[in-house]
Chain A
Amino acid sequence: MYFKLKIWRQKSPEDKGGFQFYELDDVSPDMSFLEMIDVLNESLEIKGVEPVHFDHDCREGICGTCSMFINGRPHGPQRGVTTCQLHMRSFNDGDTITIEPWRARSFPVIKDLVVDRSAFDRIIQAGGFVSVSTGGVPDANEIPISTNIANEAMDAASCIGCGACVAACKNASAMLFVAAKISQLALLPQGKIEAASRAENMVVQMDSEGFGTCTNTEACVAECPKEIGLVHIARMNREYFFAKQSSENISLR
């Protein structure tokens, strides 16, 4: 397959950056999108051109690092997949493919397609700890949890922190991500103990990182590679409002 690639190149966070055009021939339809970039980078290196920098790690859809805004959508045209799981057969021979970094005030570009997503880490940190008993190893299934709740907590836990929700959202809102994290622990008995302060602190941190505010367009849900649902945002809202009127944390920012 033959492709024309229009890729965002930016030397450093301070650099203005701009699009560069490349052509690539003999691309196998079974290559993953990242493999296609690998091939491009090899050819660039031979020519003595600096390869395109991009984030990647597991290449099997579980780490969430492979952030690329492809032809106007995070992780490209396919639903429910990350960039590493996207294959070139999803495109037509001769297509022009535009590749951009995630765009958000809270995700500054480091280089080319690599963005700094440590705002997510700080939100997780703000969530604090989960109390656990440090005694002997508890028996399996000692705490009864209904299958529905366990499944829903598992759904929330499948969030890989990729940031596609922020990238897709017209407001660059991180609410789907934060909701997944709050929801996952709020559903389980182990997470209930600190549920109120967790919701309060994570929302405060989310706001201070400069993400936008959700307007329920549902773009995040459509683009999330793990198909995290809106039900989690609703739960986050409940958790937060409930925490606000019931907790005794009155000295928060």
Chain B
Amino acid sequence: MNWLSQTLASSLGKKLIMALTGLFLILFLTGHLIGNLQLLKDDGGQAFNEYAKFMTTTPIVKILSYLTYISIILHVIYSLILTINNLKSRPIKYAVNRQSENSVWTSRNMGILGTLILIFLVIHLRSFWYEMHFGSIPTIAYEGGGQIKNLYLIVVEAFSHLWYVILYVVSMVALAFHLTHGFQSAFQTLGLRHLKYTPLIKIAGLLFAILVPALFALQPVYLYLKNL
């Protein structure tokens, strides 16, 4: 094995991949959220549709979106590899184990939270990403632009179902808990720990973990109530 693949195959190398892909996905979430906030505009979906067109046709965004796909896939695969190996590292469990005395629940259950997020992601991508890329979406014409896909219509339709809104809200709670551990954990894995900056990272991580999923969850709730 050459030195690079040996590094990435080591325990710390796998953690490095988890941390880097996780941080990239945090950046992605930020961008995705900014786009989604267009849904709150009261313009019949114009800003949102233009954003959706921008996201699917601009070359630089294309590159970023491929990086996002790769990050998601690597994050999932490496978490599976690590989890399986970690389970094997303790073949006989304790009869009594008071883990809650020494660690927080979220930090021990990133796999469960991640699985919930992954299930959500599949449903979410099927509903919107797949429709946008491969589905037949009605188009709409705006002043100064040609015909563009009216994804807004699909979104509004989807969020008129209560169960779908609930699914989104619950998934965002899972995402929030995943982020409370993941955000600061990524910095620790990269070795970025400092008396001055770590407290800031922890606060930023907590704010991010609360605000971003809350704002994501706001969209379906808002659209549902608006179109009641």
Contacts and interface: CB of A to CB of B under 8 A. Distances in A.
A250 B94 contact: no
Interface residues of A, number: 52
Contacts of B94: 69, 72, 100, 103
A233 interface: yes
Interface stretch (B85-93, B132-140, B213-221): B85-93
B206 interface: no
A77 B192 CA distance: 31
B89 A171 contact: yes
A103 B92 contact: yes
A162 to B, nearest CB: 15
B143 interface: no
A72 B12 CA distance: 28
Contacts of A89: none
Interface stretch (A26-34, A80-88, A131-139, A203-211): A203-211
A103 B15 contact: no
Given A217-B103, A218-B103, A237 B12 contact: yes
Contact of B86 (A170, A204, A206, A238): A170
B90 A105 contact: yes
A216 B12 contact: no
Contacts of A69: 94
Interface in B28-77: none
Nearest to A19: B95
Interface string B170-210: 00000000000100010011111100000000000000000
Interface residues of B, number: 42
Given A98-B96, A104-B89, A105-B88, A216 B3 contact: no
B101 A172 contact: no
A172 B86 contact: yes
A219 B99 contact: yes
B107 interface: yes
A203 B12 contact: yes
A252 B3 contact: yes
Given A230-B193, A237-B189, A237-B191, A210 B95 contact: no
Contact of A212 (B1, B89, B99, B193): B89
Contact of B97 (A72, A207, A244): A72
A219 B192 CA distance: 20
Contact of B107 (A204, A216, A231, A236): A216
A106 B89 CA distance: 7
A218 B107 contact: yes
A41 B82 CA distance: 41
5 contacts: A72-B99, A73-B101, A214-B11, A217-B104, A237-B189
Interface of A: 6, 8, 19, 69, 71-73, 77, 98, 100, 103-106, 168, 170-173, 175, 203-204, 206-207, 210-219, 222-223, 230-231, 233-241, 244, 249-250, 252-253
